[in-house]
Chains A and B, each alone.
Chain A
Amino acid sequence: MDLTGGFGARSGGVGGGPYREPIGLESLHLGDEFRQLATTTSLTPDNAGGSFTALLELPPTQAVELLHFTDSLSSSQAAAAATTGIGGGDIIIAPPPPPLHSFGGTTLTFPSNSALMERAARFSVIATEQQQNNGNYHNNETPTSSVPSNSSDRVKTEPPETDSAMENQSLCPNQTNRSGKRKDFDKKVKSSTKKNKSSEETEKLPYVHVRARRGQATDSHSLAERARREKINARMKLLQELVPGCDKIQGTALVLDEIINHVQSLQRQVEMLSMRLAAVNPRVDFNLDTILASENASLMDGSFSGTAMQLAWPHQALETEQSFHQRQLQPPPPPPQQWPFDGLNQPVWGREEDQAHGNDHSNLMAVSENVMVGSANLHPNQVKMEL
């Protein structure tokens, strides 16, 4: 194939090649920097009560109000949300991020992105933790619905350190001048929390006198509606932060536009990248070699290389599987360290061995079921995947 020929030729220039590698893998180096970051800012599990405030990155009082606000609202809308467990009183999405006053202009682009991805990823992590029994995530930031302790001072130190520990995430092209916008957000948050207070009072107590603001009805329906709208707006603001270039836009419709564009562009990137990966490699399971070989070589990070080591074991096993696809077998050694994937791992390798000659194929959907439903027993089924 022309493409593989072209890439093969490019690999000849390996002398200049390795310089590009660290850049690409630097993004995965994040573990090191963030680990240092975590230790210095003392956002440790024993500060778990404060971790929630850290998430919100607001002063504790505002955080509490928003906490109750989201709590009461989510309980009232339990129908759809409760089944998935996300809305069941869990505070997943925090309102807008803190004012990052200390940041300079241009350095904001990447630091804010990593801080954002951090924050946003923590939401999903915490959401996952609350529903999972098995701790797949070692990072035990226990989500608290109790009053968070005050760690706002420590929280403020986090963004500057994120700034210093910057990595090029190679995404998010349009993040500029966030500091100004963050200040606006701060004011908006304060004003919205005042509204939240009034609406939250009506929701918590059955019969309460609320002094209406000018031009707004005190009808319970409209209050609930207003509360709901505010909640949506708070989330939208967070989404605005997450999607690059959204800061300057006013109005829900345009923000939604940006979000839609972002999702579409990410999906298109996935398409392109998978095409690119498919073009380079003749086999589907290419990245076992590439990731693990390069990462084991270049990453000296403790925790990350620990994981890489764990991955390296299946890498060896898989490599033998690959090369033995037409030849004899080797039983893989037992995993040296405990891998959260263990329950899934063993049966898969075991069955792979028995069926190496391609008669029986493991089921990709069984993998998903196993992962999602959590059962450790894979039924060996013959499945031919047609693409």
Chain B
Amino acid sequence: MMSSYNMVKQEFIKKWITTLHILDCSVEHPLNVTERKNAIKLSSDIAMAAARSSSTVWSRALISRSGNKTANKPMARRVLKKARNRMKNRCLTLRRNGNFTAKSGVRRRTELLKRLVPGGELIENKDYLIRETLDYIVYLRAQVDVMRTVAAVDSVTGNLTNDNN
């Protein structure tokens, strides 16, 4: 029986492999380092959100945000229509309340946290925000752990794509 955190990491790994491969196939080489970094980060974020499934706000927001990064906006819009509809309703609620500059410390920090967590601005309820943050932190940490492991392996074994055949 696998621990849940390990399962989180494995889900992430599976999704990441797929997204990396897809991204690699659909982009023309050669890419410079920055483009590669963006590709890796994009695929990693999408994999993290996909591993979580659509039941959290942050995962949907992350995918929607990543959708904007790919060029094909109508496609992304169509694909994410379902998720975005849900988020639109929350956007309206937010706008109705207007923007206040946060004065007290907690208020200000809550605003900051909302900006950090993807989709956080759409969350009205502070309790819900904290719940989302907790979930997000778990997956973020899984992402970091996996990436760190892979990077460690990479630095040890060097560039394997040529050697491994």
Residues on A close to B: CB < 8 A? 1, 3-4, 7-8, 10-12, 14, 17-18, 20-21, 23-25, 27-28, 30-31, 34-35, 37-39, 44, 77, 80-81, 83-87, 92-93, 114, 117-118, 120-125, 127-128, 131-132, 136-139, 141, 169-171, 228, 231-232, 235-236, 238-239, 242-243, 252-253, 256-257, 259-260, 262-264, 266-267, 269-271, 273-291, 293-294, 303-304, 307, 311, 314, 318-319, 321-323, 325, 340-341, 344-345, 348, 352, 358, 361-369, 371-373, 381, 383-387
- If A38-B3, A256-B109 touch, whether A367 touches B137 (CB-CB below 8 Å) is no
* Distance (whole angstroms) from the CB of B1 to the closest CB of chain A: 4
Q: List 15 A-B contacts (CB under 8 A).
A: A11-B159, A17-B156, A35-B3, A37-B3, A77-B127, A125-B7, A239-B130, A270-B44, A280-B151, A284-B23, A285-B21, A348-B22, A363-B26, A364-B19, A368-B79
Q: Is A266 a contact partner of B79 (Cβ separation < 8 A)?
A: no
- The A-contacting residues of B in range 16-32, CB under 8 angstroms, are 16-31
* Distance (whole angstroms) from the CB of A382 to the closest CB of chain B: 9
Q: Is A271 a contact partner of B50 (Cβ separation < 8 A)?
A: no
Q: Is B40 an interface residue (CB 8 A)?
A: yes
Q: What residues on B are CB-neighbors of A114 within 8 Å? A: 5
* Distance (whole angstroms) from the CB of A7 to the closest CB of chain B: 5
Q: Is A385 a contact partner of B26 (Cβ separation < 8 A)?
A: yes
Q: What residues on B are CB-neighbors of A39 within 8 Å? A: 1
The CA of A366 and the CA of B63, in the complex, are separated in Å by 11
Please, what's the 1-or-0 string for B28-67, where 1 marks a CB less than 8 Å from any CB in chain A? 1111011111111111111001101111110110010011
- If A39-B1, A138-B2 touch, whether A117 touches B165 (CB-CB below 8 Å) is no
Q: Is B113 a contact partner of A290 (Cβ separation < 8 A)?
A: no
* Distance (whole angstroms) from the CB of B123 to the closest CB of chain A: 7
Pick from B41, B46, B79, B149: contact of A270, CB under 8 Å: B41
- The A-contacting residues of B in range 128-159, CB under 8 angstroms, are 128, 130-131, 133-145, 147-159
Please, what's the 1-or-0 string for B79-120, where 1 marks a CB less than 8 Å from any CB in chain A? 110110010011001000000000011100110110011000
Give A371's nearest chain B residue, CB to CB. B50
Q: What residues on A are CB-neighbors of B79 within 8 Å? A: 363, 365-366, 368-369
A-B contact count (CB 8 A): 413
Pick from A12, A23, A271, A387: contact of B31, CB under 8 Å: A387
Pick from B5, B41, B67, B69: contact of A118, CB under 8 Å: B5
Give B105's nearest chain A residue, CB to CB. A253
- If A11-B158, A307-B10, A362-B25 touch, whether A228 touches B127 (CB-CB below 8 Å) is yes
Q: Is A24 a contact partner of B83 (Cβ separation < 8 A)?
A: no
Q: Is B127 a contact partner of A235 (Cβ separation < 8 A)?
A: yes
Pick from A169, A284, A285, A365: contact of B76, CB under 8 Å: A365
Does more than half of chain A's interface fall in helix, strand or loop, or is it mixed? helix
The CA of A271 and the CA of B93, in the complex, are separated in Å by 32
- If A123-B135, A289-B160, A307-B10 touch, whether A284 touches B27 (CB-CB below 8 Å) is yes
Q: What residues on A are CB-neighbors of B157 within 8 Å? A: 11, 14, 17, 21, 290, 294
Q: What residues on B are CB-neighbors of A289 within 8 Å? A: 160-161, 164
Give B113's nearest chain A residue, CB to CB. A260
Give A264's nearest chain B residue, CB to CB. B116
Pick from A14, A228, A252, A281: contact of B159, CB under 8 Å: A281
Q: Is A120 a contact partner of B138 (Cβ separation < 8 A)?
A: yes
Pick from A12, A131, A132, A260: contact of B112, CB under 8 Å: A260
Q: Is A86 a contact partner of B55 (Cβ separation < 8 A)?
A: yes
Task: Return the 4 tightest CB-CB contacts between A and B, nearest first.
Answer: A11-B158, A24-B152, A361-B26, A34-B3
Q: Is A274 a contact partner of B7 (Cβ separation < 8 A)?
A: no
Pick from B21, B25, B148, B159: contact of A280, CB under 8 Å: B159
* Distance (whole angstroms) from the CB of A270 to the closest CB of chain B: 6
Pick from A17, A21, A252, A352: contact of B106, CB under 8 Å: A252
Q: What residues on B are CB-neighbors of A238 within 8 Å? A: 134
Please, what's the 1-or-0 string for B7-18, where 1 marks a CB less than 8 Å from any CB in chain A? 111110111111
